[in-house]
């Protein structure tokens, strides 16, 4: 659909009929040929903002997928760099990608029940915020908070708002409606809802969880400059 060697419509349908975890296992070998892999310009903008104070000693990329964020982070992390994801297939691809730039450590876990004590200076998350239902967002943010050291930062990109008059709004809201209908009748669910962690909501959820929120505009290059970088610092 997106690339001659990429997944077909049938592949994407099979993915959406699986659980989120198994869907990504199926997609993993060709995930980097889809638009779902976070573009380098977005990774770079988040990394640039994260490293304004210099390199960090420890970092984790939550929902690391095939490793887009880890590859960007690797040169700026002096100690432990961890990729967390619940798809074994995605982790296998990430391991290969990270090996080419100096390596990382990988943990297969659901971020909502992860095993980490507070130990990271930095946590990032790329392209996966839609995988948490609105009702699970507070738990997701609390879990990221729990893995950070005091003063540690959770840094990610999101859109400030998407106007209801835009094509994007209707496209994504349409997708969400289909996903809700699918999840009402099929088990296990495939959790993916667009536009559900835009800046106003993200700020509310992060603040309630014990983060101070700062927003950086203009950090991400065109054509992705509609995204802002959120820096949430653990109080």
Ligand X SMILES: C[S@@+](CC[C@H](N)C(=O)[O-])C[C@H]1O[C@@H](n2cnc3c(N)ncnc32)[C@H](O)[C@@H]1O
Shorter beta-carbon distance to ligand X: residue 38 or 50: 38
Smallest gap from residue 152 Cβ to ligand X (A) = 19
Alpha carbon separation from 108 to 21, 102, 153 (Å, rounded): 11, 20, 22
Closest CA to 9 of 34, 28, 39, 29: 34
Residues 6+ apart with CB under 8 A from 95: 67, 104, 106
Smallest gap from residue 110 Cβ to ligand X (A) = 4
Shorter beta-carbon distance to ligand X: residue 110 or 225: 110
Shorter beta-carbon distance to ligand X: residue 45 or 127: 127
Smallest gap from residue 76 Cβ to ligand X (A) = 17
Shorter beta-carbon distance to ligand X: residue 101 or 212: 101
Widest CA span in the chain: 49
Residues lying near ligand X in the complex (CB under 6 A):
20, 24, 36-38, 63-65, 68-69, 85-87, 90, 110-112, 126-128, 131
Residue in the shown chain whose Cβ atom is closest to ligand X: 65
Smallest gap from residue 165 Cβ to ligand X (A) = 27
130, 194 contact by CB (below 8 A): yes
Pairing of the two strands 59-62 and 120-125? parallel
* Sheet (strand 227-234) strand order: 105-108, 81-85, 59-62, 120-125, 148-159, 227-234, 211-216
Shorter beta-carbon distance to ligand X: residue 63 or 232: 63
Smallest gap from residue 32 Cβ to ligand X (A) = 8
């Amino acid at each position: 659909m997106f690339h001659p060697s990429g997944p077909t419509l049938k592949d994407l349908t099979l993915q959406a009929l699986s659980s989120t975890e198994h869907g990504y296992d199926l997609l993993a070998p060709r995930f980097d040929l889809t638009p779902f892999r976070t573009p380098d310009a977005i990774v770079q903008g988040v990394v640039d903002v994260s490293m304004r104070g210099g390199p960090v000693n420890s970092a984790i990329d939550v929902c690391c997928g095939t490793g887009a964020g880890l590859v960007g982070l690797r040169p700026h992390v002096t100690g432990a760099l961890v990729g967390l994801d619940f798809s074994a297939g995605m982790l296998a691809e990430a391991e290969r990608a990270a090996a080419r730039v100096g390596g990382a450590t990988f943990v297969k876990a659901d971020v909502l029940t992860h095993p980490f004590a507070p130990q990271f200076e930095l946590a990032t998350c790329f392209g996966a915020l839609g995988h948490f239902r609105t009702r699970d967002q507070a738990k997701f943010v609390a879990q990221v908070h729990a893995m950070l050291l005091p003063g540690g930062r959770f840094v990610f990109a999101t859109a400030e708002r998407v106007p209801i008059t835009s094509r994007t709004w209707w496209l994504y809201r349409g997708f969400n409606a289909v996903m809700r209908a699918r999840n009402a009748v099929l088990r296990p669910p495939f959790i993916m809802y667009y536009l559900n962690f835009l800046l106003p909501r993200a700020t509310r959820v992060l603040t309630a969880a014990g983060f101070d929120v700062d927003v950086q505009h203009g950090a991400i290059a065109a054509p992705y400059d509609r995204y802002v970088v959120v820096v949430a610092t653990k109080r």
